[in-house]
Amino acid sequence: MTEFAIPRSIFTDEHQQFRESVKRFYEREIAPHHAKWEEAGIVPREAWLKAGEAGFLCATMPEEYGGAGADRYYSTILMEEQAYVGASGPGFSLHSDIVAPYILNYGTEEQKQKWLPKMAKGEVIGAIAMTEPGTGSDLQGVKTTAVRKGNQFVINGQKTFITNGQNADLVIVVAKTDPKEGAKGMSLFLVEGDREGFTKGRNLEKLGLRAQDTSELFFNDVHVPPENMLGGEGQGFYMLMQELAWERLQIAIGAVAACEAALNWTVAYTRDRKAFGKSIADFQNTRFELAEIKTETQVARVFVDKCIELVAQNKLDVATAAMAKYWCSDLQNKIVDRCLQLHGGYGFMWEYPIARAYADARVQRIYGGTNEIMKELISRTL
């Protein structure tokens, strides 16, 4: 790994030890299989079970619910090590650091007992379904409805681009319990993968994240009891807004780790590759490119580490998280592109990690709220 002049100061010795075991896990259990999973378009359940067994799922959940009661620095390490091996398929962080916290923060005791221990073991895979074919950025415009009928809610609608969609055993579905209302009419429901009327559509063919089972989901008269509602009726939008800073910072964490990985691969490649009787790394253009890439990555690293520190203290505000998300994902796209260029034709070949990193980088500017929406949020603070 390239050494940066400014050492990272956010991790303790325990965190560093944890990082070693996470690194081993990703190098042994994930990286060697990833190409096969890309062809299959999905990460098999065995990989989830292995991650669960190793204690790498839902680590921040309290021990009584199967987690390790870990802080968000542990989550950060998991995300970084996954990015360092270029494994974009496993939707572990969405499962552990987005879906599980909703259940922990808003679930009833019964819901927590029922789902969290199984999620920590990897026996239940989680997803969250907000986006629909007709609406993404404009979340309040969702058309999926959950209508009360007797003592049940009946869900109808369609979702798309849902991470972990094929594998999902449990989906948090955003639906309107009062379609006349915008934000106030939205509620969240826990829908089990085997609920009658719930079907999984296409596992979508994508530009990148090729081992990720991003899917369409259909809800056709899906009856759920009130016990499946997560949090209060009409509270959906409010709940979705609470953890946005952390959810967006996760994208920035992945982005900076991807820049570091790209830099390392490119330093190694350009030292090895020869042209005109010397290493590519010896051309001044290469050295200047790499110098700029290292500088920009270092700058991003310091900013994101500060944000991680703030999020661990529950002090990261939405606008600062939006800055991290938009700026780091933009940077990732620029850096990966420049690194690919330094690989020449090999950079375009799928077998090279830089080619995959290039394909995987693009979506970072789109999901989790597009970068344009991030700028909207930042501009509101001016």
Chain residues that interact with ligand FAD, rule: CB under 6 A:
128-131, 136-137, 161-163, 209, 214, 363, 366-367, 369-370, 372-373, 376
Is 247 considered catalytic here? yes
Q: What residue has token string 């509620």? A: 187
Q: Distance of CA 10 to CAs 97, 261, 305, 310, Å? A: 19, 20, 7, 11
Q: Radius of gyration over alpha carbons of the chain, in Å?
A: 21
Q: Which residues of 297-323 are buried (b: 16+ CB within 10 A; e: fewer)?
A: bbebbebbbebbebbbeeebebebbbb
Based on CB atoms, which residue is closest to ligand FAD, 41 or 369? 369
Nearer residue to ligand FAD within complex by CB, 12 or 140: 140
Angle between helices 109-121 and 45-53 (to 10 degrees): 100
- Shortest spacing between CB 370 and ligand FAD, in angstroms: 3
Query: How far is CA 23 from each of CA 85, 357, 374, rounded to the nearest angstrom?
Result: 9, 18, 32
N-term to C-term CA, the chain? 39
3-state secondary structure of 10: coil
What minimum distance in Å lies between the beta carbon of 316 and ligand FAD?
20
Which residue of this chain has its Cβ atom nearest to ligand FAD in the complex? 136
User: Which residue type does 204 have?
Assistant: L
Q: Which residues pair with 219 in a beta bridge?
A: 157, 198
Give the Cα separation of 231 and 330 in Å (integer): 35
Which residue type occupies 234?
G
Question: Which residue lies nearer to ligand FAD by CB, 131 or 187?
Answer: 131
- 379 C-beta neighbours (distance < 10 Å), count: 10
- Measured from the CB atom, the residue of 26 and 326 that comes closer to ligand FAD is 326
Query: At closest approach, how far in Å is the CB of 373 from ligand FAD?
Result: 6
Provide the minimum distance between the beta carbon of 129 and ligand FAD in the complex, in angstroms, as a whole number: 5
Alpha helices in the chain (DSSP H): 13-25, 34-40, 45-53, 72-84, 92-94, 100-106, 109-121, 236-242, 244-272, 284-312, 318-342, 353-361, 371-379
d(CA 228, CA 131): 20
Q: CB 98 → ligand FAD: shortest distance, Å?
A: 8
Nearer to ligand FAD, 191 or 293 (CB): 191
Give me the catalytic one of 38, 81, 247, 289. 247
- Write down the least CB distance from residue 225 to ligand FAD, Å: 24
Nearer to ligand FAD, 212 or 320 (CB): 212
Q: Closest CB to ligand FAD among 236 and 369?
A: 369
**From CA 279, how far away is CA 291, in angstroms rounded?**
16
Find out whether 89 and 38 touch, Cβ atoms under 8 Å. yes
Please give the Cα distance from 30 to 43 (Å, whole number).
9
Q: How far is the CB of 63 from ligand FAD (least distance, A)?
A: 27
Q: Which residues are catalytic?
A: 247
